[in-house]
Amino acid sequence: MGKDCGNHGDDDFRHSCRRLLTILISLAILVGIIALIVYLVLRPTHPRFYLQDATLRTLSLSNSTSTPNSGDSSSGHLLSTTIQVTIASRNPNDRVGVYYDRLDVYASYKYQQITVAASLPPVYQGHGDVDVWSPVLVGPNVPFAPYLADAISQDCQAGYLILQVKVDGRVRWKVGNWISGHYHLFVTCPAFLVTSGGNGAPGDGGFRFQTTTYCHVEV
């Protein structure tokens, strides 16, 4: 009789352990499902950016010689650029809004910045909203490396020019009443400019924007 009672006690203990283990596994699965739902809801898709137009008004390359007092008589180059760009942004999220707290736009050539950054006004972008900006980017007498001066001269002579329009900013996400912290936004838009014939030297020379381009976005 005592042996039977002992076995019965062991069975109850095993059943209790199984029930406890089942409860713990169920709770873990439930927590995982809740975490996955929250992740899918709060994880936003980055905004879509498009370069719709780029009008090159000025592109002037000049020589520059260091002053004698500097101890360097080597010659360099200065590039002056004026370009107006039209950038569109769309928020593809159904439940997530975007605060653009800072947006700085500038143009570059082969990774060298050639204009001063233009600041765009802060804006909130709701679900599916589209915003369009058309800043004028100006770069007066920007020091230009000799190899870049040769490259841009060759591009102009060939009748095509590829610039990059870049956006550097800070964004926040909004889900219901919840607003996230700041995230760094970096956008690169290729601008393909072509002309009917080469002119042998940098200059606006009839360059025109070829096609709307999709921008690469990093958040």
Specify whether 16 is located in the same domain as 102.
no
Q: Give the closest residue to 78 by CA, choosing from 136, 146, 137.
A: 146
Q: How many domains does the chain have?
A: 2
The dihedral through the CA atoms of 159, 142, 111, 75 has a sign that is positive
Which whole number is the average pLDDT over 190-213? 75
pLDDT at 8: 59
Model confidence pLDDT, tens digit, residues 79-133: 999 999 999 999 999 889 999 999 999 999 999 999 999 999 999 999 999 999 9
Place 18 in a pLDDT band, splitting at 50, 70 and 90: confident
pLDDT above 90 for 3:
no
β-pair partners for 60:
80
pLDDT at 200: 43
Specify whether 34 is located in the same domain as 110.
no
Angle subtended at Cα 147 by Cα 214 and Cα 61, rounded to the nearest 5 degrees: 80
The more confidently predicted of residues 86 and 204 is 86
Specify whether 57 is located in the same domain as 36.
no
pLDDT at 177: 87
Cβ neighbourhood burial of 219 (10 Å; 0-12, 13-18, 19+):
middle
In SS3 terms, 121-154 reads as CCEEECCCCEEEECCEEEEEEEEECHHHHHHHHH
Specify whether 56 is located in the same domain as 37.
no
DSSP state of 196: S
Give me the chain's average pLDDT, please. 85
Query: pTM of the prediction?
Result: 0.75
- 1 located within any domain: no
pLDDT above 70 for 38:
no
Which whole number is the average pLDDT over 160-181? 92
Specify whether 152 is located in the same domain as 96.
yes
What span, in angstroms and rounded, lies between the C-alpha atoms of 185 and 178? 20
Specify whether 18 is located in the same domain as 104.
no
pLDDT at 167: 98
Place 178 in a pLDDT band, splitting at 50, 70 and 90: confident
Q: Give the closest residue to 80 by CA, choosing from 9, 141, 170, 171.
A: 141
The CATH number given to whatever domain includes residue 56 is 2.60.40
- 164 located within any domain: yes
pLDDT at 198: 47
Specify whether 96 is located in the same domain as 159.
yes
Specify whether 176 is located in the same domain as 201.
yes
Place 73 in a pLDDT band, splitting at 50, 70 and 90: very low
pLDDT at 87: 98
Q: Write out the residue range of the structural domain in which residue 22 sits.
A: 11-43
Model confidence pLDDT, tens digit, residues 138-152: 999 999 999 999 999
pLDDT at 19: 86
pLDDT above 70 for 4:
no
